[in-house]
Structure 1
């Protein structure tokens, strides 16, 4: 069993745009515990009141799988452990395990600590031993170990020996600057294993050379039994080793257990949850857990996966709680459209002209439309090809005016004329802008016929200028996301006229919502 050591709550929060409240950290810790990680590093209790509060609250909670870890450093160069406030804070955190970071690099001993090699060895051994005497199991993080080994291999190994003499449970080799290559990690871990054949070894990798996951996996291959990392790879600079990639690689590629049985399928949900708690958009392109991880866009690819899913997928996405997705674009083939129709339960007529829809889609994308994130617009195009399809409404005309009136400021008004069941409905409405006014006028016209429209809420309205070098004559793409309380759908429009682009996306949104029902 590989020990998964999560440091999202400590190292992960050192990413430049992340700040978690104490309550956020507690909630994330609960999810990590439910996933089944071995250790959760809650923070550095001696560094700030928030982390001290976290450990106070965590001490009174029940943890079903994970052990909470308090993180700190060895005692100061001029102190004994029992005199050091940082060591005292670790004890006061009341965790079963403490992680203690110490220097492995001669450069850091000389220039950062400003002490001697011998004193650094004393600091490591005495700090680990003192915490052990206080009833704490110690995980020793050998900071800058790989850089230190390359500077002076013998001294770096001596620092590990000092931690081992102090009674450290695990010796963790840290690629703190993130610049070590996988073959170097393999060679150095092999050397450490030869020097300490009985020791439990761990790996802590950073991603500055985009090698953190690879370095972690190769370290396990060479004998490390603990892997430290963060959810989504959050962390200082370029981030830490991404546990959302490491865990499935360990289990699915290397045949090693890292989580309790059945927990791997919760990984995607956890990845998105942590992103939301950190107030970051989930990275769609993350391996295993990203929305695009099993998305298929090219027509040849989709044609193949319709026959055999494994033809363009390295695992079944359900194993990590993700799902396959077919994307429609100008690169699509017939299979993309058929797959999309099947996904949404749309039964196409045998004589439906899929090729005509495909050609229209490609022509529209050439004009600036993008259907990857506007699947409702694609489904409407397919529906409109069916012989018996009758649109719930037909646009006759619309106007949109924006004026500046003295004493009132900017004023927007729109009129809409639509045909419903052969009847012409003509309405007007004002709004805080022309698109808002058009939306209000259209809803006003259609609501008596389709009461469900009252539950349609515009969730998002995105505008993108596609060819800014053309100034105010540029093509504008509008993407609208709508929600009815149960479902969410997206539609698109594009034009050199932003009002026309908005109308197209807006009208498609209303039409699709009516067809979809509740």
Structure 2
């Protein structure tokens, strides 16, 4: 079976930049352009619209200077307009050599926006193509609103294509400008055109207004499209364009008769960089590149992965430079925990694993997902409990008000006898300790001195991370440490103190 190579043109820096509130700096554009061509290995990049601004001109100039030095200039394209050569002059001055000429692909646009006849429009287009040719500029042609043109003015579209077939152009580009096509229409329209003009090169440019961008791309390819226009993270106007990551995965997995030169392994890296530069956050459930898409949460899935990879598919994270993760929460079981322990190089016996599982379930009721980085803290917290629990802190109220001394009211049970105490202190935890000391003073028990108090959270965690408090206690004859774990720092210190009290009375 012969395999057809599909040209991939990335338009993140032009069409993708039309995402609301997104504007890349010149240095960001150059960085993205280099990554797209050298690392992701797309065939072409559309980097700007001609005549937009002086800043855009400088950005194009930086990219074309770099592209000329590295033999990529024929892969760098700029959107131009039917404007008597003004766009071409702008491009040539900026160093660009390929124009993507924006023309009208529907009679509705031609009549109501340009207010011209088809012959007038075609004549002006041919003049621009000739001007470009004279200045060494290669021309591709966009048929703006082509999808509605095929629906409502097909005769005009074919008149236009008959004209373009006589012109010295390289590609004809078919945009679903408003994102209105269905997969069935995408297939029918592209096939009809490709059957009529088998020797012309046609690109399909899909938008995602009905969330059909990838499906329409797949249909267009099945119908014979020669190239695709895609954007990183599906960026673009309104609901965005067909996304690079999902489209490449679909081609590689479901269309063996087609191939692209795109380097799958770099998709995630490039997507994350564009996320950072654009400020547009990738949804956590976005296929291929979302934070959660390679995370198993249900324990039964992790168990199945242990038993012949029952929940694996062709979408293996390693393909995209990522790793499978196993979430820790109230719906995870021992299998999830074992997977995370393996990644950390840790082992637990069955009894300890059961204790850790129960603790994670308890934490999951308060904190939806526990991270792998939290796991060592949870293990140390659980396995630290080598005593009989004779003391239980039942409840407490911690108050902190500006201008007033912090105070605590605490209730605790000591061997089935309940005590309640109130105290003030220099801080909430100090007030808590003063209340506890008052209770034990009445019991005739001297508590150890607190000589060190350390708080830490897992590296890279957020403000809702689990917090481990390690307190060092000292009697005249010995020192010992206790740990507390909670998403609240003061509560984690109280839990460490509860452990100390149980050690003291055992």
User: TM-score higher than 0.5 here?
Assistant: yes
**TM-aligned CA distance change 1:308 to 1:36, over 3 Å:** same
Looking at structure 2, the residues matched to 116 and 506 of structure 1 have their Cα atoms a distance apart, in angstroms, of 79
Structure 1 residues 401 and 258: CA distance shift in structure 2, 3 A: same
Residues 233 and 358 of structure 1, relative CA distance in 2, 3 Å threshold: same
Q: Which residue of 1 aligns with 2:12?
A: 8
Q: Equivalent residue for 1:446? A: 453
1:191 match: secondary structure = helix
**Is 1:503–2:490 an aligned residue pair?**
yes
> How far did residue 277 of structure 1 move?
1.3
1:57 to 54, 62, 65: 62
Deviation at 1:458, TM superposition (A): 8.4
Q: CA deviation at 1:205?
A: 0.6
Change over 3 Å in CA distance of 1:310–1:73 after alignment to 2: farther
SS for the counterpart of 2:47 is strand
Once the 2 structures are TM-superposed, how far is the Cα of residue 92 of structure 1 from its aligned partner? 2.5
Q: Structure 2 unaligned runs (5+)?
A: 405-425, 435-445, 469-483, 497-506
TM-score by length of 1: 0.75
User: Which range moves more in the overlay, 109-118 or 379-388?
Assistant: 379-388
Matched with 2:289 is 289
Using the TM superposition, give the Cα deviation of residue 507 of structure 1 relative to its aligned residue in structure 2, in angstroms: 8.8
Distance 2:379 2:467 in 1: 19
Aligned partner of 1:252 in structure 2 is 253
> Equivalents in 1 of 2:180, 2:174: separation in Å?
14
CA drift of 1:158 comes to 2.1
Tell me if 1:47 matches 2:49. no
Contact 1:374-1:492 at 8 Å conserved across structures: no
2:278 is matched with: 278
User: In the TM superposition, what is the alpha-carbon distance from 1:147 to its structure 2 partner?
Assistant: 0.8
Separation in structure 2 between the aligned mates of residue 455 and residue 337 of structure 1, nearest angstrom:
19
Question: Partner of 1:121 in structure 2?
Answer: 122
Q: Residues 190-269 of structure 1: matches in 2 within 5 Å?
A: 190-255=191-256, 256-259=258-261, 263-269=263-269
Change (3 A) 1:398 1:315: same
Aligned to 1:90: 91
Q: Is the 8 A contact 2:378 2:485 kept in 1?
A: no
Instruction: Map residues 366-405 of structure 1 onto 2, 5 A cutoff.
Output: 366=365, 369-386=366-383, 402-405=400-403
Pair 1:40–1:423, CA change in 2 (3 A): farther
- Secondary structure of 1:331's counterpart equals coil
Counterparts of 1:126 and 1:506 in 2: how far apart (Å)? Answer: 78
CA distance in 1, matches of 2:176, 2:492: 49
Moved over 6 A (4+): 387-390, 395-400, 453-459, 505-509
The answer to whether the 8 Å contact 1:74/1:100 transfers is yes
CA contact (8 A) 1:2 1:225 kept: yes
**Residues 92-107 of structure 1: pairs in structure 2 closer than 5 A:** 92-107=93-108
Q: Quick check: 1:15–1:234 contact (8 Å CA) kept in 2?
A: yes
CA contact (8 A) 2:14 2:48 kept: yes
Is the alpha carbon distance of 1:317 and 1:144 closer, same or farther for their aligned partners in structure 2, counting shifts above 3 Å?
same
Once the two structures are TM-superposed, the CA of residue 183 in structure 1 deviates from its matched residue by 0.7
Distance 1:13 1:333 in 2: 44
Task: Provide the rounded CA distance (Å) in 1 between the counterparts of 2:62 and 2:353.
Answer: 62
Whether contact under 8 Å (1:459, 1:481) holds in the other structure is no
SS at match of 2:114: coil
Q: Against the structure 1 CA distance between its residues 201 and 18, is the aligned structure 2 distance closer, same or farther, given a 3 Å change threshold?
A: same
Distance 1:26 1:425, change over 3 A: farther
TM-score calculated relative to the size of structure 2: 0.77
TM-fit CA distance, 1:105: 0.7
Report the Cα distance in structure 1 between the residues aligned to 2:193 and 2:219, rounded to whole angstroms.
14
User: How far, CA to CA, are the matches of 2:18 and 2:492 in structure 1?
Assistant: 40
**Equivalent residue runs for 1:104-183 within 5 Å:** 104-183=105-184
Contact 1:3 1:258 in 2 (8 A): yes
| Residue-pair matches, total | 437
Residues 374-420 of structure 1: CA distance to partner in whole angstroms, max 9, x if unpaired?
44444433444448979xxxx999996634349xxxxx9444569xx
Deviation digits for residues 288-331 of structure 1 (CA, Å, limit 9, x no counterpart):
22222221112222211122336333332111112111112222
Structure 1: state its 5+ residue gaps: 407-411, 428-444, 448-452, 462-477, 483-490, 495-500, 510-518
Q: Tell me how far apart the structure 2 counterparts of residues 226 and 242 of structure 1 sit (CA, whole Å).
A: 14
Cα distance in structure 2, aligned partners of 1:229 and 1:508:
53
**Distance in 1 (alpha carbons) for counterparts of 2:224 and 2:270:** 28
